[in-house]
Amino acid sequence: MLEVIVEFFAELLLQIVIEVLAELGFHSVRESFRREPNPVLALIGYLLLGLMAGGLSLLVAPQLLIAENLRVANLAFSPVLAGLAMMALGAWRARRGDALARIDRFLYGYCFALCIAIVRFRFAA
């Protein structure tokens, strides 16, 4: 049972690390954009970036870090938890007075993590 919990958290941690790195990248280039993009176009962008990040994660960890019989549960729960983690990071940034990127909101963080999870679910060994 402990092995299952460790595998689940390893897969979740991989998604959160990828999201935090993406979030740092978004904050670093945020100033170059003067106008906020359309929310729908931004969501499509996060979906595409999540798919690309999922593909790149296969280079780092080509095997799924969770047991075969828990892959669907991982697909359902990891993106929700990663979205909540990004929302918490956004709340922390807001308390500090930092500018927020869209990925600091639950929906965008969830969609980004969901795309990573879908790619890993489909293509990881």
Q: Show the tokens assigned to 16.
A: 């959160």
Nearest to 52 by CA among 18, 89, 13: 18
Which helix (H) or strand (E) segment holds residue 50: the answer is: helix 39-60
**Stretch 36-52: mean pLDDT:** 82
Assess whether pLDDT exceeds 60 at residue 32: no
The residue range of the domain holding 68 is 2-123
Quote the pLDDT of residue 122.
92
Assess whether pLDDT exceeds 60 at residue 59: yes
Assess whether pLDDT exceeds 70 at residue 6: yes
Q: How many domains does the chain have?
A: 1
Q: Rounded to two decimals, what is the model's pTM?
A: 0.76
Query: Is residue 89 classed as helix, strand or coil in its secondary structure?
Result: helix
Nearest to 8 by CA among 104, 80, 88, 90: 80
Quote the pLDDT of residue 115.
94
Quote the pLDDT of residue 11.
82
For residues 1 and 42, what is the distance between their CA atoms, to the nearest angstrom? Answer: 40
Which helix (H) or strand (E) segment holds residue 81: the answer is: helix 71-96
| Cβ proximity of 30 and 93 under 8 Å | no
Entry field: residues in the chain:
125
